[in-house]
C-alpha cells in the first residue's frame, strides 16, 4: 500500500530554528570524569591548572577557590564552571562535600577569560545535581555509567545555558567540518592543503576564511588542538611521552616538547607531574 510521508521539513513555521545557533559554537561536551565525595579530605592544593574544564558544586559549605586574590566560596546555593587553563588554589578547613566534572568543550563558541564562573543553583540545576549525586550512590555498572554520562551532560548543558558567554556569528558548514576533523583526529595529516581540500576551497581562500572565522591560522589552530590533546593524555593516561607525541600528531618527542613548552610554559614531564599530584581534584 502506498503511503505519503508527511512533515519531511526539518523546520516548521511554529518552531524556533536552531541551525544558526548550533553552527555558532558551544556544542558538545566530552566528559572525562564525574565524581562525588561526601567528605573529601585532601582538598587543599596550590596552583591547580588543567587542559580541561571543570564543574564544581559543594552541597555543604566550608570550602572555596582562591583566584587572583579573590576568595570564592563554594556554597550549596551555587555551582562553579572553571574554563581550561585557569590557574587557581583549592582551600578548605573542613573536608569537602564535593561534586565535580572534568570535561572538554569540543567547539567553543568564542574566547573565554580563564577565570571561575559562579552560577546560582536554581531549581533545575539543583534537581539535576541531586540526580547525578544519587547515581554515585548506586552500584557501579555499565547501565549506571551510561545514565551518569547522560545526566551529567544534562547538568552541564543546563549550567551553560545560564552563562553569559560570547556568541560568535555562525560559521560556514564547510569550516565546521574542518574544525570537527581537527578535534576528532589531531594525529592525522592536517596540512593546509588537505584541510582546504576537505573544505572544498582553494588554499588561499581557505586560509583567508579560516582566519576570518576563527581569528587564527589553520596551522596555529591545529598546533593548539594537538597540544590540548596531549595535555589530556598526559593528565588522564599513563602513556609515555613518546607515545603521546605520536598520538597527538607530532613527528617526534623533541619537536613535541618544544611546541608543548611554547604553548604551556613547561615541558610534558613537568606538566604530568603537576597533574598527577592533583589527580581527581
> Pick from 199, 175, 50: which is nearest to 107 by CA?
175
Q: Are 104 and 29 in contact (CB under 8 A)?
A: yes
pTM higher than 0.85: no
CATH hierarchy code of domain 173-277: 1.10.10.60
Residues of the chain with CATH 2.60.120.280: 25-161
Tell which wins on pLDDT, 266 or 64.
64
Residue 217: Cβ within 10 Å count? 13
Please give the DSSP secondary-structure letter assigned to residue 107.
Answer: E
* Residue 107, pLDDT above cutoff 70: no
Residues of the chain with CATH 1.10.10.60: 173-277
Interval 190-204: pLDDT, tens: 999 999 999 999 999
CATH C-level class of 25-161:
mainly beta
- pLDDT value for 105: 79
Q: How many CA atoms lie within 13 A of 246 on its CB side?
A: 4
Distance of CA 7 to the CA centre of its chain: 36
SS3 28: strand
Residue 11: Cβ within 10 Å count? 10
What is the rounded distance in angstroms from the CA atom of residue 84 to the CA atom of residue 249?
21
CA angle 234, 84, 42 (to 5 degrees): 70
* Residue 279, pLDDT above cutoff 60: no
Amino acid at each position: 500500500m502506498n503511503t505519503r510521508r508527511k512533515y519531511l521539513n526539518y523546520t516548521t513555521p511554529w518552531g524556533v530554528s536552531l541551525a544558526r545557533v548550533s553552527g555558532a559554537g558551544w556544542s558538545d561536551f566530552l566528559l572525562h570524569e564525574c565524581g562525588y565525595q561526601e567528605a573529601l579530605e585532601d582538598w587543599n592544593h596550590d596552583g591547580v591548572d588543567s587542559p580541561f574544564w571543570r564543574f564544581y558544586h559543594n552541597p555543604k559549605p566550608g570550602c572555596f577557590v582562591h583566584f587572583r586574590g579573590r576568595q570564592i566560596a563554594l556554597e550549596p546555593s551555587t555551582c562553579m564552571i572553571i574554563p581550561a587553563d585557569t590557574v587557581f588554589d583549592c582551600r578548605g578547613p573542613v573536608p569537602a562535600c564535593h561534586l565535580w566534572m572534568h570535561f572538554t568543550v569540543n567547539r567553543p563558541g568564542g574566547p573565554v577569560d580563564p577565570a571561575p564562573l559562579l552560577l546560582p543553583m536554581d531549581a533545575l540545576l539543583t534537581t539535576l545535581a541531586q540526580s547525578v549525586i544519587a547515581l554515585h550512590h548506586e552500584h557501579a555498572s555499565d547501565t549506571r555509567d551510561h545514565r551518569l554520562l547522560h545526566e551529567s551532560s544534562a547538568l552541564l548543558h543546563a549550567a551553560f545555558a545560564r552563562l553569559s558567554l560570547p556568541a560568535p556569528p555562525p560559521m560556514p558548514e564547510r569550516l565546521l567540518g574542518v574544525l570537527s576533523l581537527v578535534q576528532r583526529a589531531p594525529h592525522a595529516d592536517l596540512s593546509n592543503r588537505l584541510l582546504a581540500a576537505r573544505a572544498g576551497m582553494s588554499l588561499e581562500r581557505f586560509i583567508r576564511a579560516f582566519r576570518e572565522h576563527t581569528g587564527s591560522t589553520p596551522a596555529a589552530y591545529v598546533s593548539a588542538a594537538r597540544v590540548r590533546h596531549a595535555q589530556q593524555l598526559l593528565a588522564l593516561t599513563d602513556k609515555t611521552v613518546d607515545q603521546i607525541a605520536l598520538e597527538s600528531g607530532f613527528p617526534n618527542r623533541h619537536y613535541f616538547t618544544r611546541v608543548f613548552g611554547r604553548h604551556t610554559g613547561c615541558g610534558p614531564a613537568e606538566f604530568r607531574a603537576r597533574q598527577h599530584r592533583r589527580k581527581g581534584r
